[in-house]
Structure 1
Amino acid sequence: MTILVTGARGQIGRAVLTSLHAQGLPVRAASKDPSALNLPAGIQAVALRDDDPETLTAALENVRQVFLYANPATADLFVKAAEQAGVEHVVLLSSSAVDSPDAASNPIGASHLTVEKALAASTLTTTTLRPGGFDSNAFGWIPAVSAGQPIEHAYPDAALAMIHPLDIADIAVAALTGAELRGRTVKLTGPEAISFRAQIAALSEAIGREIPIAAITPAEAEAQLSRTMPPYIVKALLTIWSLTTDQPETPADTTETLLGVPARTFGQWARENAAAFTAP
C-alpha cells in the first residue's frame, strides 16, 4: 500500500520521498501546490490544503503509512481522516521543544505537543521524531557571507548538537520501512555539540575564505531576529543560546545510535552547501 509524504517540497520530506521511491516503494507526494513539485517519474503528486478538507481524504486514499509534518490546525482532522482511510502507521516530524518543562506554554513546544496528543489519542501507531536545531539553520547567514560582511551574533560560543536534515530523513525512512523504530519516540541530534564559532569556522573552510564574527548584545540580536521571526521564537532562541554558552547541549539519539551508521557532521553539511554561500 501507498506511503504518503507530506511537506514534499521541504528538504526532509523530499529526501524521504526520494529514498522510498529509490527502494521501489509506492509513494505519494503531498503539497499545498503540487504543480511546483519536480518529482521523479512514477511519483504521484496530490494537493493537501488546510482550507480544503476534501484534499486530505483524497490524499489518504489507499495509504497505510504517512510521513507527517506537524500541523496543529488540522491535527484532529488528520487523525479522523487517517483512521477512516485505514492508515496504520504515522511517522511524525515533531520537535525537541516538546521535551522542555514549559512545552505546554512554549508556542513551539505547544504546537507540536498538540499534534502528538491528537495522535496518541488515536488508534494509529505513531513513531515520533523530535529533532533539535538543524544544520541548515546556517542558511540564515547567507546574506552576510555573500556580501563579505561579518556574521553578527550575541552568543557565538553557544554549543548545540545540530542535526543534518538528511539524518532526520534517513531515520524517518527506517521507521517507515522497518520494525525497530515503529511506535517509538526519539529525540534526535547531531553527533556533537558545536558552537556557532566552530560552525562559522567550518563554513569558512568550506568556502575557502575567512568569515569574521562580530559580537553584538542580546538586545541587538533580539532586534535583528525580530525582523523575520515572531517574538516567541526570538525569545526561545536567545534563551537556549544563553544557556548553552556555559552548558553545551548533550547529544541524544543519532543515526549512529539508531541505525548504526555515522551521523553527518556540520562540516559535511558546510561542504555540501558551500555554493549557496558563494553564489553571486
Structure 2
Amino acid sequence: MILITGATGTVGRPLVGMLDHAGVGVRAVTRDMTSARFPAAVEVIQAEPSEPETLRDALVGVTAIFVNPRAVGAAGVELIALAREQGVKRMVTMSALNVEFDVERQPSRLRGEYNKEVEFAVVESGLEWVALRSGAYADNAIAMWAGQIRAGEVVRGAYPNSTWAPIHEHDIAAVGAHALLTDGLLGRRPVLTGPHSLTQPNMVTAIGAAIGRSLRFEEISPDAATQAMIRAGIPTPLAEGFLTMQAESYGQRGLVSNEVEEILRRPARTFAEWAVDHVDSFR
C-alpha cells in the first residue's frame, strides 16, 4: 500500500492515477473530500498531513509514502517518525532544483513549501529515500498568463530573455511512480526539467499555437510585472520572489536535465505538448 500526500494537487492527482493503473494499492490523503475524485479502487483518507497524528490509522499497512512538502509543512520530522513507527520502508519526496539556494531565492517557501527541510528530514530518516528536485513547472504559465490570454492577444511580463526548461507535471508524477515502485532511484536526488530551454516569448507562442490564436509577448518593467501579478491575486512577497528568480533563470541559465528521459526511457514531454493538454485553462 502506498500513501500519497497532496493527492489532489498538480502532481499528486496524476500520480494516484498512474499507481492505480499499475494495480498498486493507493491511499490518497485529502483535506477536502469534495475534491477527491479518484478511481474506485483508490482508498481516500481525509486527514491533515501537517498534523501527522491524523494519519496514524491511515499508515497501517503502508510500505511507502509520497511526500508533498506543501501538504506536510513544518511537520516533516514528526511524520517520518510516525511512519517509521508504523513500519513504512520508503519515502519519496517532492523537492526543487533551487533547494540549496539562499532562502530568499526560494519563493515557493512563501506558500509553505519547505522543500529544504522536508528533503533533509527524508534523507536523514534512516528509511529508503528519493528526493525529486524539479525545475520550473509548466503549470506556472496558468497563474502567470491565463487571465491575460483570455482577455486579449498580448502577454506582458518582465525579463523576456530569461530561460527555463518547464516540466510537465505528468513527467514529475511518472518519475515519482518509478521511485515508489522500483529501486533504481534509491538514495538519489534526480534533477527533473523539461527537454528544452525556452524564453517566455517561446512559451507564449506555444500556447497560442495550442489554442489557435496568434499571441505575442510584450516586455514591461519588473515593477510593472510585479504589480500585475499582485492584481492577479498573487501575494506581494511571492510575486517579488518569483520575479527575482525569473531574472536569474533559476540561477542556471538555460538548464536542461536529461534525467526524465533516462529514468522513464522516453523523451520528456515538451512545453508545446503541455499547452495542448491545458487548452481549457487559456480559452
TM-score with structure 1 setting the length: 0.91
Distance in 1 (alpha carbons) for counterparts of 2:277 and 2:38? 21
Give the equivalent residue in structure 2 for 1:14.
13
Distance in 2 (alpha carbons) for counterparts of 1:87 and 1:26? 14
1:221 deviates by: 1.2
Q: Which amino acid aligns with 2:193?
A: T
1:127 and 2:150 aligned: no
Q: Which amino acid aligns with 2:86?
A: A
Of the three residues 191, 195, 203, the one matched with 1:191 is 195
1:96 and 2:97 aligned: yes
Give the equivalent residue in structure 2 for 1:161.
165
Distance in 1 (alpha carbons) for counterparts of 2:171 and 2:119? 21
1:212 deviates by: 2.9
Give the equivalent residue in structure 2 for 1:202.
206
1:213 deviates by: 2.4
Distance in 1 (alpha carbons) for counterparts of 2:252 and 2:22? 41
**CA offsets, 1:104-144, max 9 Å, x none?**
88464682111122223322221000101111111121211
Alignment of structure 1 residues 172-183 onto 2, 5 Å = 172-183=176-187
Give the equivalent residue in structure 1 for 2:278.
273
**CA offsets, 1:85-112, max 9 Å, x none?**
1111011011122132x14884646821
Greater Cα offset, 104-113 or 73-82: 104-113
1:167 deviates by: 0.5
Distance in 2 (alpha carbons) for counterparts of 1:95 and 1:257? 19
Of the three residues 222, 228, 251, the one matched with 1:218 is 222
Aligned residues: 276
CA 1:43–1:263 in 2, change beyond 3 Å: closer, same or farther?
A: same
Identical aligned pairs, as a percentage?
32
Q: Which amino acid aligns with 2:180?
A: L
Paired residues of 2:93 and 2:122 also in contact (CA < 8 A): no
Q: Which amino acid aligns with 1:3?
A: I
Q: Structure 1: which 5+ residue stretches go unaligned?
A: none
Paired residues of 2:50 and 2:74 also in contact (CA < 8 A): no
SS class of match (2:133)? strand
1:275 deviates by: 2.6
CA 1:146–1:219 in 2, change beyond 3 Å: closer, same or farther?
A: same
Distance in 1 (alpha carbons) for counterparts of 2:196 and 2:29? 33
Distance in 2 (alpha carbons) for counterparts of 1:98 and 1:203? 29
Distance in 2 (alpha carbons) for counterparts of 1:89 and 1:108? 25
Paired residues of 2:4 and 2:66 also in contact (CA < 8 A): yes
Aligned-residue CA RMSD (Å): 2.2
1:237 deviates by: 2.1
Distance in 2 (alpha carbons) for counterparts of 1:99 and 1:75? 18
1:231 deviates by: 4.0
Distance in 1 (alpha carbons) for counterparts of 2:41 and 2:224? 50
Q: Which amino acid aligns with 2:213?
A: R
Q: Which amino acid aligns with 1:239?
A: T
CA 1:213–1:169 in 2, change beyond 3 Å: closer, same or farther?
A: same
1:255 deviates by: 2.0
TM-score with structure 2 setting the length: 0.90
Q: Structure 2: which 5+ residue stretches go unaligned?
A: none
CA 1:229–1:270 in 2, change beyond 3 Å: closer, same or farther?
A: same
Distance in 1 (alpha carbons) for counterparts of 2:169 and 2:105? 27
1:233 and 2:238 aligned: yes
CA 1:104–1:245 in 2, change beyond 3 Å: closer, same or farther?
A: closer
Paired residues of 1:97 and 1:108 also in contact (CA < 8 A): no
SS class of match (2:40)? coil
Distance in 1 (alpha carbons) for counterparts of 2:251 and 2:182? 39
